[in-house]
Each structure stands twice: as C-alpha cells, then as structure tokens.
C-alpha cells in the first residue's frame, strides 16, 4: 500500500456488503464485510467508507509502513448509516502516532462530520476515546460540488469549489469531486468521483433512482472508467417491498452505466440475505443489459493504469 508505485491507479475492495456484516459459508466468494474501498493514486491512500471492511485494511496498512514513516490517509464518508461506519473504531492506524488522517464527509441532520464520527468512538459507546489517541486527525465537512486535491509532493489535501480547480487541473496528483444526492433517506449521501492521470472512478453507493437519475448526476458520472454502483436488490424484491429504502436494483445500476457511458460497472452494496449464488445470477442478469459488468468481491483489485 505505502509502496504502491505512483504509476498505479489501483482500486481494492475490502467490504462490499450492505446493511450489516454477513460472515459465513454462504458469502465466502463475495465476502461478508460492509462497505470499504481503497484507492491508491499518485502515492496517496484514499479510503471510501468505514464499514467493517476497513478493519482488515487498517491492519494491512500498518504492516506495510516503515518505522519512522508517516501514514498519510484520506477517508471519505458517504453518509452516517452504521454499516458505513461500524469499522471506524477498529481502524488500527488511529492508534498509531505516525498516522495523519484527513476525514471527509457531509453535514447530516445539522451535524458536521466530526459530530457524527466522534460519538462512535467515545464513552459510553466505546471504551476508548478517539480524542485521546496519538494519531493526528483533521475533519473536513464538505458540501456539494467541492473538490479535494493535493499539491505535488505534499501529503495534506486542500478543499476548494470544483469550478475553481478546473482551470488548474493536473493529472499528476489525484483529485476527488463530491456531489450530494437526496436519493438515500432520510438525509442523503455523497457520490464521489476520483480522477487521476486521465482516468476516473465514481463511487455511487446508497442511491435509489425510483424516478430515474437526475441529469446533473449523470453529467457527474459521465465517461467514468469504473463505476462502483449500489445494486442491492433484484427487481422483484424491490417491487415487492423494498421501494423507498434508498438502494438500487441491478437494472437501475446498468441503466446509469449505459446513460453515463461508463466503461465498466461494478455491482456493489450487496443485500445481506443474498448468498454467493444469488449474486452470481444478478451479475449474469446485469451483463445482459451492460456487458462490462462485474459483481464486487472482497479482495478484488483493478488497476486503471495497468
């Protein structure tokens, strides 16, 4: 991780499940951990969501950094639901003085991202108070159409309006664009677009397009080399009793990929009651509508610059 060459734009999946972790023999191939995706770009470690998958990622990061070497990490939270935050108190870099963590997320229900995160890891809910840990933590509450970017050679990111950075866009460092959507109840969620060396990944989980996707969000996703998209339900389950839960069907995901001219689609945020065989069938169904589709599995790696 820390030694990944800067010529890579590497995406690793550490947690792909939605709602709650589902360990057991029925989820061995796809995995039972909840949402967590790592991206290595330009020598930077970017993490998207802190579901139970972040626990294994944190251990791996600590094993690979050298003594006296800083562990610079940027963690991007989509929203405040428990399946996307459950692993945060067990993220081992938090307990290490070498860690420099920048944490980004939306304001929800009147609470900034620090107010949302800190109670998860403080008494009486947790025996260790995150405010007393040796790591350095910087919280950034971001709003719609903001951009997180790095200056070359510097570990700390800056936050600007996306329109301010367009004229200064450089492929030598990654940048992360944020777009807020209200399609996930009750408070909404952020979709992230990560750009580096002429390639783009969009992380669009916990979205539901009951009436079709808005044009401004299609424009945001447009041309992504990799679209990681919520696809929690089959159409029949959705129509029977899952409407309004804030999650997409496989057909919703493939429709977005087609309309936004994505190059590849990854089905994500798998329904916890579906076993591996069910997810395989959903993948096959998706490919009939969008050929370049894969179902996310823990341990999957994709290098967009390979």
pLDDT at 60: 97
pLDDT at 68: 84
**Domain locations in the chain as residue ranges:** 9-303
Distances (CA, A) of 7 to 75, 150, 171, 218, 272: 21, 16, 11, 29, 36
User: Cβ neighbours of residue 83 under 8 Å, at least 6 residues apart?
Assistant: 17, 18, 19, 20, 21, 34, 35, 51, 52
pLDDT at 6: 64
CATH of 9-303, one of 3.40.50.80, 2.40.160.40, 3.40.50.11440, 3.60.15.10: 3.60.15.10
- For residues 31 and 26, give the distance between their C-alpha atoms in angstroms, rounded to a whole number: 9
- Cβ atoms within 10 A of the Cβ of 306, count? 9
Kind and range of the H or E run holding 73:
strand 71-76
Q: pLDDT digit string (tens) for 208-223?
A: 999 999 999 999 999 9
Return the structure tokens found at 221.
């996703």
Which residue ranges of the chain lie beneath pLDDT 50? 1-4
- For residues 66 and 25, give the distance between their C-alpha atoms in angstroms, rounded to a whole number: 36
- For residues 125 and 246, give the distance between their C-alpha atoms in angstroms, rounded to a whole number: 27
pLDDT at 1: 41
Q: Which residues pair with 111 in a beta bridge?
A: 108
User: Is 0.85 topped by the overall pTM?
Assistant: yes
- For residues 85 and 15, give the distance between their C-alpha atoms in angstroms, rounded to a whole number: 12
């Amino acid at each position: 991780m820390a030694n990944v060459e800067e010529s890579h734009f590497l995406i690793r999946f550490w947690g792909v499940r939605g709602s709650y972790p589902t360990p057991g023999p029925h989820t061995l191939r796809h995995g039972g951990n909840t949402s967590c995706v790592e991206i290595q770009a330009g020598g930077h470690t970017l993490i998207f969501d802190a579901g139970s998958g972040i626990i294994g990622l944190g251990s791996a990061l600590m094993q690979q950094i050298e003594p006296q070497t800083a562990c610079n990490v940027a963690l991007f939270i989509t929203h405040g639901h428990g399946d996307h935050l459950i692993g945060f108190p067990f993220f081992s870099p938090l307990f290490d003085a070498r860690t420099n963590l920048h944490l980004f997320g939306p304001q929800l229900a009147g609470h900034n991202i620090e107010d949302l995160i800190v109670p998860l890891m403080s008494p009486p809910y947790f025996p260790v108070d995150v405010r007393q840990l040796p790591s350095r933590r910087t919280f950034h509450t971001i709003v719609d159409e903001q951009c997180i970017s790095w200056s070359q050679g510097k570990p700390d990111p800056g936050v600007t309006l996306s329109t301010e950075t367009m004229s200064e866009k450089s492929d030598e460092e990654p940048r992360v664009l944020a777009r807020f959507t209200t399609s996930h109840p009750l408070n909404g969620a952020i979709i992230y677009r990560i750009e580096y060396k002429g390639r783009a990944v969009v992380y669009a989980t916990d979205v539901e397009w009951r009436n079709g996707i808005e044009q401004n969000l299609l424009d945001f996703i447009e041309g992504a080399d990799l679209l990681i998209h919520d696809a929690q339900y089959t159409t029949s389950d959705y129509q029977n009793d899952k409407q309004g839960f804030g999650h997409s069907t496989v057909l919703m995901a493939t429709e977005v990929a087609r309309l936004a001219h994505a190059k590849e689609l990854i089905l994500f945020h798998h329904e916890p009651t579906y076993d591996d065989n069910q997810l395989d069938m959903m993948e096959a169904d998706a490919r009939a509508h969008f050929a370049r589709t894969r179902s996310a599995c823990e341990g999957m790696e994709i290098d967009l610059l390979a």
